[in-house]
C-alpha cells in the first residue's frame, strides 16, 4: 500500500540497519526484557527489537499505520508484540503498561520520537519513571544538547535540570539525516537515560520545583531576585533578598549558573513562603 507521510506528526522513518543495530546495542536488552516503543511508524526498528528478542508494546497514533504494522508482525503472538492505538501524551501509562510491569518488571523504552514533542514525552516518562529502567531515545541534536548541558552553558535549562534530577544520562551517538525517510533538516542523536531509583538531590515537591525552574528560566539572564519578586511568594522584595542572603544565595546570581542541587535547595527554602 502507498503511504503518505504526515508532516504534522513529525514522521521521519529510520531505514538504516546499522543505526538500528547500534540502538539495540545501546539498549543492551536482556532476553525477554519488556520494551515500550513510542511511534513504531512502519515497524523498521520494531523488527530489530523483536529479534533481540524482546516483547514489545508499541503505541502508534497514526490510524493509517495500524494495518501496516499488524500485517508486518502478523505472525507474532500477543505476548511478543502488542500494538496500542493512541496518543502517548494523552495516555495513562499505568493503564497501558501496568500489566507488563507486573509480569516482567521494569520496562526499557526504545523510540524514534517525533521531534516536535520530544520534551513533553521525556517529562511524561519522568512522571511514570517507576515503570521504567531506562530509555533509549532518538531525538533532534539540539534537544540532546539541552539534556546534556551543564550550568552556565547556553543550552542549560528546565530540560537539563529535570533529566539530571531523575536520570543518569549518556550521550549515545549522532545520526545523519540520510538515515531517515523523509530526511529531516537536522542531525539527530540517540541518548540513553537511566532512571534513578531516587532523585539525585533531595526534593519534597517536584511540581513546585518545576514551577520555580520555569519561572527562573523565563528570565534566565536576570538576577534571580527579579523573577522571584512579584511572583507567588508572600515576601516583599527586600524580605526575599534578606532570606536569600541568610541561606547562602546571592540575589544577584542568575538561574543559568545554578546547579541542580542549588535549585533544589532554593525550592525547599521558598516552599514555606508560597502564596496559597
Q: What is the pLDDT along the chain (276 residues), one digit of tens a residue?
A: 455 656 655 578 999 999 999 999 999 999 889 999 999 999 999 999 999 888 999 999 999 999 999 999 999 988 899 999 999 999 999 999 999 999 999 999 999 988 889 999 999 999 999 999 999 999 999 999 999 999 999 999 999 999 999 999 999 999 999 999 989 999 999 999 999 999 999 999 999 999 999 999 999 999 999 999 989 999 999 999 999 999 999 999 999 999 999 999 999 999 999 987
C-alpha span between 139 and 269 (Å, rounded): 35
Span 89-99, pLDDT tens digits: 999 999 999 99
Residues 6+ apart with CB under 8 A from 202: 264, 268
Superfamily for domain range 206-273: rRNA adenine dimethylase, C-terminal domain (1.10.8.100)
- pTM for the model stands at 0.92
The class that CATH gives domain 7-195 is alpha beta
Where does CATH 1.10.8.100 sit in the chain?
206-273
**Residue 119 · residue 155 · CB < 8 Å:** no
C-alpha span between 273 and 276 (Å, rounded): 9
In which region does residue 22 sit, left (phi positive, over 0), alpha (psi from -120 to 50) or beta (all else)? alpha
C-alpha span between 17 and 37 (Å, rounded): 17
C-alpha span between 7 and 185 (Å, rounded): 13
C-alpha cell at position 245: 542572603
C-alpha span between 197 and 220 (Å, rounded): 30
Where does CATH 3.40.50.150 sit in the chain?
7-195
Amino acid at each position: 500500500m502507498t503511504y503518505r507521510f504526515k508532516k504534522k506528526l513529525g514522521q521521519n522513518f529510520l531505514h538504516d540497519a546499522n543505526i538500528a543495530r547500534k540502538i539495540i546495542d545501546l539498549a543492551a536488552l536482556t532476553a525477554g526484557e519488556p520494551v515500550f516503543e513510542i511511534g513504531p511508524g512502519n515497524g523498521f526498528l520494531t523488527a530489530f527489537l523483536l529479534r533481540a528478542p524482546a516483547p514489545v508494546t508499541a503505541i502508534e497514533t497514526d490510524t493509517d499505520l495500524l494495518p501496516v504494522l499488524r500485517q508486518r508482525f502478523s505472525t507474532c503472538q500477543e505476548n511478543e508484540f502488542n500494538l496500542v492505538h493512541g496518543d502517548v501524551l494523552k495516555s495513562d501509562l499505568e493503564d497501558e503498561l501496568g500489566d507488563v510491569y507486573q509480569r516482567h518488571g521494569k520496562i526499557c523504552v526504545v523510540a524514534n520520537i517525533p521531534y516536535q514533542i520530544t520534551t513533553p514525552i521525556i517529562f511524561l516518562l519522568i512522571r511514570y519513571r517507576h515503570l521504567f529502567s531506562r530509555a533509549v531515545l532518538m531525538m533532534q541534536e539540539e534537544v540532546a544538547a539541552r539534556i546534556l548541558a551543564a550550568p552556565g552553558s547556553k543550552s542549560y535549562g528546565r530540560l537539563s535540570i529535570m533529566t539530571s534530577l531523575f536520570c543518569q544520562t549518556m550521550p549515545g551517538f549522532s545520526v545523519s539525516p540520510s538515515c531517515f525517510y523523509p530526511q529531516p533538516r537536522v542531525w539527530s542523536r540517540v541518548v540513553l537515560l537511566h532512571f534513578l531509583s531516587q532523585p539525585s538531590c533531595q526534593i519534597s515537591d517536584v511540581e513546585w520545583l518545576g514551577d520555580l525552574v520555569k519561572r527562573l528560566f523565563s528570565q534566565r539572564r536576570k538576577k534571580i531576585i527579579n523573577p522571584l519578586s512579584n511572583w507567588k511568594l508572600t515576601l516583599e522584595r527586600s524580605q526575599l533578598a534578606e532570606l536569600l542572603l541568610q541561606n547562602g544565595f546571592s540575589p544577584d546570581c542568575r538561574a543559568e549558573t545554578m546547579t541542580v542541587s542549588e535549585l533544589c535547595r532554593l525550592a525547599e527554602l521558598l516552599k514555606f513562603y508560597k502564596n496559597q
